[in-house]
Amino acid sequence: MSMDFDAIVVGAGAAGGIAACVLAEAGKRVLLVEQGRWRSHANSGHRDHLRNHRLQAHGINTGPYVDGHPRIFVDASGETHVVRPHDDGYHNNASTVGSGTLLYGGLAWRFHPDDFRLKSRYGVPKGSSLVDWPISYAELAPWYERAEWEIGVAGHDGDTNSGARTRGYPMPPLPPKPSTAKLRAGATNLGISTFTPPILINTVPRDGRAACVQCGSCVGFPCPSDAKNGTQNTVIQRALATGRCEIMTGTVAERIATNARGRVVGIDLIDMGEGNAEIRRRITARAVMLSAGAIESARLLLASATDSEPHGLGNNRDLVGRNLQGHYYPTVFGLFEDEVENSHGPGVTIATTDFVHGNEGVVAGAMLADDFVMLPAIFWKQALPPDLPRFGLKAKHFMRDNYRRVSQIKGPVHEVPAPDCRVTLDQTCKDRFGRFVPRLSGVVHPETLRTVAAMHEKAEAWLEASGTIRTWGALPAPRLSAGQHQAGTCRMGDDEAISVTDPFGRVWGHPNLFVSDASLHPTNGAYNPVLTIMAMGFRNSDNLAKML
């Protein structure tokens, strides 16, 4: 392997894969480092309904492996747990080339223009660290468009609340299912605007790959027709095709390498090999970009202390790892007289963005939509009415009669960040490589829970207006929220005193150290965040390519 790189990108997920592509196509020599391995439907598409990224009852379907990769989780009552990758509290991201983009449902939202200015619109709730983004929707819009066309989104211009668009989508939207018309009629009754949500899935053959075959197990698994557009089958392929990008899989970053003056010179890597044959080496580069996710990117900065930054790189103001956030998903189920579900994936067919802002008495809101096809075991665990016994013929007959008659409305609440929700380095627990593991602690800000309750009511009203016989769904309890859509731990900003990086993800005080993933998000939007991570990935790596 060559040892002479312009840039090392740590993490081959949504933003990291894009960085490898943009840098390599700009003529730079790039090393893309990934803890996981190459995975596909053929080698990892086994449909284990109890071990996947939608239900991790007894394991998982990508790395990190169950043994050797613990984390410490402090729960809402303050109790500390050692957790494994499939356990509650781990807040896992898929460890594989493409990361979550290999397995996701691929909802492809642009954030709302006011999602970038929550502080300006709502003020700062007590105890929160709410800020505006340092950039506007208008600044990100061309990069959103690039992500939509280069990764591949199916959709239509039906969102009356979205920011300005200058171009449509490259593919037509997903087809409806039996519940769609009922939910549309219910929304119309309430004066709610609806449309088909945009998604990173081929609805027609594109980019040399087939269209979606509408299998009944989409989110959480690799795609049987390779119709899901992730970074592993788009930009990473382009990066490798340049001949200037090398990818090291099965390799973890031990720490960011620095010289005697504390300046970043590369990465200290551990190649896992097979068995216990670990190979450790330092690889140097002119720039380092961390795209390992909000927990692992923060962990790497914290684990790379120097004499001048004894608490971690970029952490002299104790900001790295703070403001960990994700998405609470208020969810309401509704039982219909007719069959409304047909197992045709992906399953998301209708959304509204009317409640993203402007909800009386609460901060922000959520996009609300129906959901992906539920695996039967997941339906049993999550979708049964609270008063239904979990045994006997009543339970069995509810499954028999109503699996196809239950629909749901849910949505990702734009959370109010709290500085006490954070990643730190645990001081005792180590992983199989001897690295101190992330310690996750904190409880979501109370304002977020108020918005959750408000969105729950909206979802319930929508279902009730759509002809349901009954609805149900519990309000979620206070907890740390980073299990879905982790973000916020290395927030970018204009002011060095209250941010970890500049508006292009460059760590303050370090000319050649960058973060590019959802760690940068000052707030995480009222939508699934992956298209924003991708747009930011294009923007920030384009900036880096010009600097190198």
Partner 1 sequence: MPSATFLALLDRIIPVDEWPSATTSGVDRFILALWQSGADGSAGSAAAGLEELDKLASHAGYASFADAPEITQDTLLEQVAATVWFRQLCELAAEGYYANPGNGANPDAISWHMIGYKHGLPEGPDGPPANRSEARMGKLWA
Residue with tokens 């108020």: 450
Using CB under 8 A as the binding rule, whether residue 221 contacts partner 1 is answered as yes
Beta-sheet strands, E only, within 227-316? 245-248, 251-258, 264-271, 279-290
What does each C-alpha distance from 70 to 84, 89, 104, 254, 485 come to in angstroms? 5, 11, 23, 15, 20
Looking at the Cβ atoms of 57 and 181, the one nearer to partner 1 is 57
Using CB under 8 A as the binding rule, whether residue 58 contacts partner 1 is answered as yes
Per the document, the length of the chain is 548
Looking at the Cβ atoms of 90 and 508, the one nearer to partner 1 is 90
Looking at the Cβ atoms of 174 and 302, the one nearer to partner 1 is 174
Residues 388-417 that bind partner 1 (CB under 8 A): 389-393, 395-397, 399-400, 403-404
Distance CA 244, CA 5 (A): 9
Looking at the Cβ atoms of 168 and 178, the one nearer to partner 1 is 178
Q: From residue 339 to residue 378, what is the string marking binding to partner 1 with x (rule CB under 8 A)?
A: x--xxxx-----------------------------xxx-
State which of residues 3, 27, 48, 358 lies at the interface with partner 1 (CB under 8 A): 48
Give the shortest CB-85-to-partner 1 separation in angstroms.
9
280 in Cβ contact with 254 (< 8 Å): yes
Using CB under 8 A as the binding rule, whether residue 217 contacts partner 1 is answered as yes
State which of residues 4, 27, 50, 511 lies at the interface with partner 1 (CB under 8 A): 50
| Terminal Cα-to-Cα distance of the chain (whole angstroms) | 21
* Number of residues engaging partner 1 in binding (CB under 8 A): 54
What does the H/E/C string look like for 481-520? CCCCCCECCCCECCCHHHCCECCCCEECCCCCEEECCHHH
Which of these segments, 207-215, 235-243, 504-512, 519-527, binds partner 1 (CB under 8 A)? 207-215
Using CB under 8 A as the binding rule, whether residue 280 contacts partner 1 is answered as no
Using CB under 8 A as the binding rule, whether residue 1 contacts partner 1 is answered as no
Environment class of 392 (CB within 10 Å of its CB; exposed 0-12, middle 13-18, buried 19+)? exposed
CA dihedral (175, 179, 181, 184) positive or negative: negative
Residues 316-345 that bind partner 1 (CB under 8 A): 339, 342-345
Looking at the Cβ atoms of 225 and 242, the one nearer to partner 1 is 225
Give the shortest CB-158-to-partner 1 separation in angstroms.
27
Distance CA 453, CA 62 (A): 34
Distance CA 505, CA 21 (A): 18
Residues 67-126 that bind partner 1 (CB under 8 A): 67-68, 84, 86
Looking at the Cβ atoms of 62 and 179, the one nearer to partner 1 is 62
Q: How many CB atoms lie within 10 A of CB 434?
A: 9
Here the tokens at position 41 are 């439907």
Contact residues toward partner 1 (CB under 8 A) are 41-51, 57-63, 65-68, 84, 86, 213-217, 221, 224, 339, 342-345, 375-377, 379-381, 389-393, 395-397, 399-400, 403-404
